[in-house]
Chains A and B, each alone.
Chain A
Amino acid sequence: MQQDQLIVQLQAGNERAFERIYQLYSESIFGIIYTITRDKNVSEEILQDVFLKIWNNASSYNSDKGRFFTWILNIARNASIDKIRSKDFKNKQLNLKSDNFVDILEAKSNFSSKIDAIGLQKYIDILEPVCKKLIDLLFFKGFTQKETAEKLNMPLGTVKTRNRVCIDKLRSTVI
Chain B
Amino acid sequence: MEDINEYIQSGILELYVYGALTEAESAEVSATLKQYPEVQEEVAQIENSLMQLSAAAAPFNPEQLINSIKQKLSGSEKVIPITRKKSSVVPYIGWAASLLFLLGLFVLFNRNNELQNSVQALQAEKAQMESQIAEARNNAERSQQLLAVLRDRNIVRVPLNGQQVAPEAYAIAYYNKEDNKTYIDAKDLPEPPRGMVYQVWSLKMQPLTPASIGLLDKFEEDDNKIFELSNSNLSEGFGITLEPAGGSETPTMEQLYTLGTVSSS
Contact = CB atoms under 8 A, between A and B. Distances in A.
A154 interface: no
B10 interface: yes
Contacts of A70: 16-19
Interface in B13-53: 14-23, 26-27, 29-31, 40, 43-53
Interface core residue of A43, A48, A69, A142 (most chain B CB under 10 Å):
A69
Interface string A142-168: 111100100000000000111110010
A22 B51 contact: no
A105 B76 CA distance: 37
A27 B62 contact: yes
B18 A31 contact: no
A67 B48 CA distance: 12
A128 interface: no
B15 A145 contact: yes
B89 interface: no
Given A48-B72, A70-B19, A34 B58 contact: yes
B127 interface: no
Given A55-B73, A160-B10, A2 B19 contact: no
A139 B26 contact: no
B90 interface: no
Interface in A48-63: 48, 51-52, 55-56, 63
A67 B73 contact: no
Contact of B20 (A25, A138, A164, A167): A138
A27 B61 contact: yes
Contact of A160 (B11, B29, B50): B11
B57 interface: yes
Contacts of B66: 19, 22-23, 26
B58 A27 contact: yes
Chain A interface size band reads 35 or more
Interface core residue of A56, A67, A171 (most chain B CB under 10 Å):
A67
Chain B interface size band reads 35 or more
Given A44-B65, A65-B27, A74-B19, A32 B73 contact: no
Contact of B57 (A32, A69, A144): A32
A132 to B, nearest CB: 11
Interface of B: 9-12, 14-23, 26-27, 29-31, 40, 43-59, 61-63, 65-66, 68-70, 72-73, 76
Given A23-B66, A104-B57, 16 more contacts: A47-B62, A56-B76, A65-B26, A65-B27, A66-B29, A67-B17, A101-B53, A101-B57, A108-B56, A144-B20, A145-B20, A160-B10, A161-B10, A164-B11, A164-B14, A171-B46
Query: Lowest 8 CB-CB distances: which A-B pairs, in order?
Result: A164-B11, A31-B57, A31-B58, A31-B54, A160-B11, A30-B58, A27-B55, A28-B51
24 contacts: A23-B66, A25-B51, A27-B55, A30-B62, A31-B56, A32-B57, A34-B59, A47-B62, A65-B27, A67-B47, A69-B51, A73-B18, A101-B54, A105-B56, A120-B56, A123-B53, A142-B19, A142-B20, A145-B20, A160-B15, A163-B15, A164-B9, A167-B49, A170-B50
